[in-house]
Chains A and B, each alone.
Chain A
């Protein structure tokens, strides 16, 4: 009953003209970010944080969340029309979506993607309303050892699932955690590894790092690549025909289920749910040979999974304070900038904020659908923007964004340095998500480990005698063992 009351008050606030306008602006900017090649949701959201400085915390979070799920949809447009995923989660959509565009069915592909995203987003948000409060209640009983084990589990998942080499992913996680050690010790309050540089006392600016790793490096890589041709597909028929509807309905619901379930697991990333949704559809299909040739289920399922995942990933974030992806980590940074700490206490301390934000996910998903179906032609036109202007514009926004965070040129230098580092890492195929999650979770994981050991007077068995903690540690070990086994035969083949 409490939940319903909170949700109703949340809707009352979210439907106010100001918050609706923020959600609308966020959806528009998010879709723009998703559409523009060379700018993913993580960098885009980070870059636009300064736009929310003047807003109240609730308005700022509503707008940035809308940018996040807007960008998750926007990536589809480039996947379908130019075979370039606007963001990583849309990689799978390229396979059949681009084939559909080549066959003159690009409009239908984008239409079903918008509808699937809407269904996925709405269903996941309804589930969020039902699942989040009891989960937050349960998490209130977590002590530092459980939080340590949970964060370790999340980092192991990221390391186990990212990239081709688990060793490399683990190294990236450790690198992220090490970078997080720079600055003030979170337990004792003394500066560490700051090299007597005052700017480093506050640590390395997380948002500036994300802008560099995902924004600048992406533009540098794009500068190398040859310019791609846009498919001038017929975009008049957005709605699928009867047969296409029949094929899509099941795919949309199955994709939603997969996206939601996987969104609950911290650290799994956005690619896995879309990939799984695609594979499931192909396996279930009586005509699997159509996949890769423009099968509409190949667009409907991953796109529904993508948005269901994006909304479900808010559950571990809001209730446990664990970001599942670099973009959610950026949102976490935005929460912190606004003086709000995501986690189980959020539902108790700021129910007004959290329920208004959740209600805004509903309004945002409606706005997104309304924005995307009629405006898809306009978005498609943006793909014809000259590359040079696009690059300069993105880099310019990165500079303004990085500087505005603390009115410090130091953050601009951090962004440039991590842009070059990100460029090199991408070339070396070193995954960036583990580094980013390590960097944002570093202080919290260190704090929970050290407080746990203070509680037990240095006895490590504290992690083994608490059942929940032990369960999560076993799960973390199982993830790493599973990943090692999965990669081992490949390693032997290649050796």
Chain B
């Protein structure tokens, strides 16, 4: 007499080799392709947004949103190093470090008071310690109905970041420098980053729970240092499988500028198998490159910061009021309302320029400004005691401290209003800053 277990096993493994009749097979395939074609013809116009409408109509809004998203998506790039005191989470980190290939799903939604659902991004992320990162993202703007598909590759070995937009048949290639490559190799936007950061913050255990039948322990931090202390409130939770000590799910709520962002990472697959070919971006022949050539990412250093400040002040006649990445780009966007002829020329449609030329022109300005914001953020992360006085200092204030950061125990690097730089002692700096702090 068979046991129920035996019945179960035999039935499970029963060889039921059925194949579809070739004639029927061809018929079904033909019908479903026809159905797809008819369905495409019936789709509303917004289903396939064209590049012109997306980029040209309101380029800065789109690019600003992209900048905010980039922060949310690649928060791993803003990691600072340090030593953690946690015990259980330190073990979790060790376990994650052992996994050479893994993948997960990521969902990011954002809302402002004005717009209940401003951002909705669904992503699948594949990370390989050897090859880099591959991310398939679908952006959906529920307000306009616009959807954008993007495949993104971070390829440290090639020092390239490639973004492919199939619906527009476009791609962007970013050259990244050694510093960024090094940081990327250490920290992708992955659970390692989250756990490392939590370890460096005040965190607490949320106790035991169950997710999808898996026994987990939760951890939470609301320490603002999680985001470097300059990006607003944050609430991070991570649930770890008590058996494997690997993350099962994480959630992050944060406030950036005036937007509430909610990110969920789930459906982890640890030690997934991967073929190197997965990290070979496939770019069909009929796709064209944004701007016509690879875009060189500006290094996040003093030189880029000065370049960004110079460009911003040249366009607006003043310095940015704040340097937080999330407020910097909106400040840049507001420039489009300026009466200055050079600004107008930048933002108004120029018939002499092709789409690629226009995008390139915009990128040439945006990259140093974004580099300025990133440089300032990293000074915070590296605990360099930075300060910025863009609200009080104007381009003509030759001797006023515009920005400063620590370079040694008793020395500070200072960028003045006329953008010349000096290294001064802490005592001299205190004197220089007196009028700004009064």
Chains A and B are bound partners: no
